[in-house]
Amino acid sequence: MDLPFRLLNVFGIEGDPFSGNPLAVFPDAAELSGAQMQSWARQLNLSETTFVTAVDRHACSADVRIFTPSYEMPFAGHPTLGTAHVVAGLIGGLLDSAEPGSRAALPDALSLSMPAGRIPVRRVGPTWRLSAGTPSFRSPSFTRDELARTLGLPVEAVAAGGTRLVNVGVEQAMVRLESAEAVRACSPDIALMYQHLGGVGPAPHVYVWAYTGEATVEARLFAAGDGSLDEDPATGSACSNLGGWLVGEGARGIRIEVSQGAAVGRPSRLELTVDDDGGIHVAGRVAEVGVGTMHVG
């Protein structure tokens, strides 16, 4: 059995081919079981790998599953944008083959269905933009001091009252820090992450961020899984949750540029918008960098 795949960089920076968060997309995965998808995600060992299980060219939609090397995600941002780019090409190809002699039209808007629900995605110039769901909130059970020790920071580096558990598709701990220097100084303790954040999301996740200007933010995302601690280069789900955090603070009609990934050598840019109605949108550049085929014996 041969399985084609595409390799993309999402949330990249124009002119830097090794920026953004890498993503593998299997566009024809209807015959794979969940266990097989998990095995392929572990084989590739990227932040996430997606599997397209169905495409509806008339509705401009697709069914998608998202896996980290350790577990399935109900929603994730950079896989949503990268998969939308691939699905648009698939739908264009289907339209072309259905109408011989016609030129394939790549859709500028489509939807992806995943365990968290249906996510609308739209092409906006050189970027793709997702529209996130309505945020829900929980108060953390850990203290500010426990959180600071978990992050390897002095307690005064953690903004008082700046932590919420936010969920627009996947729950994460959103932690506002007092400065970009504090964001860069984070050195989480994995044992303490399991102790204090073990009940957050599918696995312990913490997103730290700080303003660097009136409309700019620097952020990092740490996730624990299978006993190891990973840092994500660019996290669209957490950027969406940051939008939820801001909505909870009353923000409307704002646009913020989020920088992430420099600490792991993959500088990334995410565009976060909260519209006048409190809708949350996250956008970024998507570039396809390779294609290949996996051979299953």
Catalytic residues: 48
Give the CA angle between residues 125, 126, 127 to the nearest 5°: 90
Distance between CA atoms of 14 and 268, rounded to whole angstroms? 10
Distance between CA atoms of 33 and 1, rounded to whole angstroms? 14
Bridge partners of 163, per DSSP, are 175
Closest C-alpha among 77, 71, 43, 15 to residue 221: 77
Closest C-alpha among 62, 63, 23 to residue 44: 23
Q: Which residues of 207-246 are buried (b: 16+ CB within 10 A; e: fewer)?
A: bbbbebeeeebbbbbbbbbeeebbbbbbbbbbbbbbbbbb
Bridge partners of 213, per DSSP, are 216
Distance between CA atoms of 276 and 58, rounded to whole angstroms? 31
Q: Which residues of 106-133 are buried (b: 16+ CB within 10 A; e: fewer)?
A: ebeebbbbbebeebbbbbeeebbbbbbb
Distance between CA atoms of 265 and 22, rounded to whole angstroms? 12
Distance between CA atoms of 167 and 242, rounded to whole angstroms? 10
Backbone φ and ψ for 143, nearest 5 degrees, come out as -90, 165
- Say if CB 196 and CB 161 are below 8 A apart: no
